Amino acid sequence: MKWKEQLLTLTPYQPGKSIDEVKRQYGLENIVKLASNENPFGCSAKVAEALKNAPISFAIYPDGYATDLRESLAAFYKVAPEQLILGNGSDNLIQIISRAILGKGVNTVMAVPTFSQYKHNAIIEGAEIREVPLANGHHDLEGMLSRIDANTGVVWVCNPDNPTGTYIPKDKLFAFLEKVPKDVLVVLDEAYNEYVVADEGYHVNELVSQFENVIVLRTFSKIYGLASLRIGYGIAASEVIRALEPAREPFNVNTIAQKAAIAALEDQEFIQFCKHKNREGLEQFYQFCQESNLDYYPSQTNFILIDFKTDGNEVFQFLLEKGYIVRSGKPLGFPTSVRVTVGSKEQNAGVIEAMKQFLAVKTS
């Protein structure tokens, strides 16, 4: 068959091992999954309440415009409803943007390593990939600027970055955006924005009115704890949204997700609780790393990349057999590290204990 040539070079996304898989394989009772940056506290209790009381008919298509959720988000961010695009997860928005702009003869600029989906989608569309190595775990913004030319379609900036957890402060980010040509779309993937404590942040509405070539991606999968429902959104100038909309499939966000997201957005107290607990959790990991002389990147997210100075797969496997699923840094571009999601206090203490055992076995 006449597959796109570039498709044959790709492998499907490898999700972390599931809890049931690990239980069965190692005969363990209790498994803690700290691999996919999910929220250990679940989602707001208001979500279950809202869904219980909502008359949802499974036979009816969802609202393709997500009118109610759109209005909630517009009010929350003080933007116009036409400045929003909804996605079946922000992964779907990455796909929509790629489909809308990238193709043969177009190039796209991104960091390496960074979130894998930018490159994956760009390859499918046949675009030229221009990867700019991270400098000390941070985006090399000058380096990225220097790779932009007349054929550049999209620049991807993951802030905070996955898998390092590093953050571009507001002043540096804005100085960078000033220098990007106005006909190049900058995608600011802010999946972890709600966890950031590094600076005072900025108002998204100011950002997208100042820079009409920027789209900010956010998600309900991380701090909002709705990963299974698949819902994310983009915020941009209305001209950007209008151009992207035809590339979106009409009913890409299901009814349950729309209703759940509205309820989740209303409970900002829960979000603040999770943010606070996450900082406490990170402190547990920082302390462990310092005591054990392990390098790590101070994180602005709900995960931490820890360098064990040995094969990351080996650390991963050891922890797996103790019932902790983490991500090996190997496929993420950090071969001697593991990426651990910050869990509850008890989960953190547990995985830290297991990591101490690994170090003890390793040095004995």
Ligand X SMILES: *Cc1c(COP(=O)(O)O)cnc(C)c1O
Contacts of 31 (CB under 8 A, 6+ apart): 19, 22, 23, 323, 324, 325
Is the Cβ of residue 87 or residue 153 nearer to ligand X in the bound state? Answer: 87
Cβ atoms 345, 280 nearer than 8 A: yes
Contacts of 334 (CB under 8 A, 6+ apart): 113, 163, 164, 305, 307, 312
Cβ atoms 308, 204 nearer than 8 A: no
Q: Please tell me whether residue 232 binds ligand X under the rule CB under 6 A.
A: yes
User: Quick one: which of 110, 191, 326, 332 contacts ligand X (CB under 6 A)?
Assistant: 191
Is the Cβ of residue 111 or residue 354 nearer to ligand X in the bound state? Answer: 111
How far apart (Å, rounded) are the C-alpha atoms in residues 130 and 45? 43
Contacts of 55 (CB under 8 A, 6+ apart): none
Q: Segment 156-175, which members bind ligand X (CB under 6 A)? A: 158, 162
How far apart (Å, rounded) are the C-alpha atoms in residues 342 and 37? 7
Stretch that binds ligand X, among 13-21, 85-93, 132-140, 171-179 (CB under 6 A): 85-93
- In whole angstroms, the minimum distance from the beta carbon of 81 to ligand X comes to 20
Q: Segment 9-48, which members bind ligand X (CB under 6 A)? A: 37
Closest residue to ligand X, judged by C-beta, is: 89
Is the Cβ of residue 274 or residue 354 nearer to ligand X in the bound state? Answer: 274
Q: Please tell me whether residue 113 binds ligand X under the rule CB under 6 A.
A: no
Q: Please tell me whether residue 254 binds ligand X under the rule CB under 6 A.
A: no
Q: Please tell me whether residue 323 binds ligand X under the rule CB under 6 A.
A: no
- In whole angstroms, the minimum distance from the beta carbon of 191 to ligand X comes to 4
Stretch that binds ligand X, among 22-30, 89-97, 234-242, 340-348 (CB under 6 A): 89-97
Pairing of strands 185-189, 214-219: parallel
Burial of 41 (0-12, 13-18, 19+ CB in 10 A): middle
User: Quick one: which of 101, 102, 115, 195 contacts ligand X (CB under 6 A)?
Assistant: 115
Is the Cβ of residue 72 or residue 90 nearer to ligand X in the bound state? Answer: 90
What single DSSP character describes residue 25? H
User: Quick one: which of 39, 108, 221, 348 contacts ligand X (CB under 6 A)?
Assistant: 221
Q: Please tell me whether residue 219 binds ligand X under the rule CB under 6 A.
A: yes
Compute how many other C-beta atoms are within 10 angstroms of the C-beta atom of residue 61. 10
**Can you give the binding site for ligand X, defined by CB under 6 A?**
37, 89-91, 115, 158, 162, 189, 191, 219, 221, 227, 232
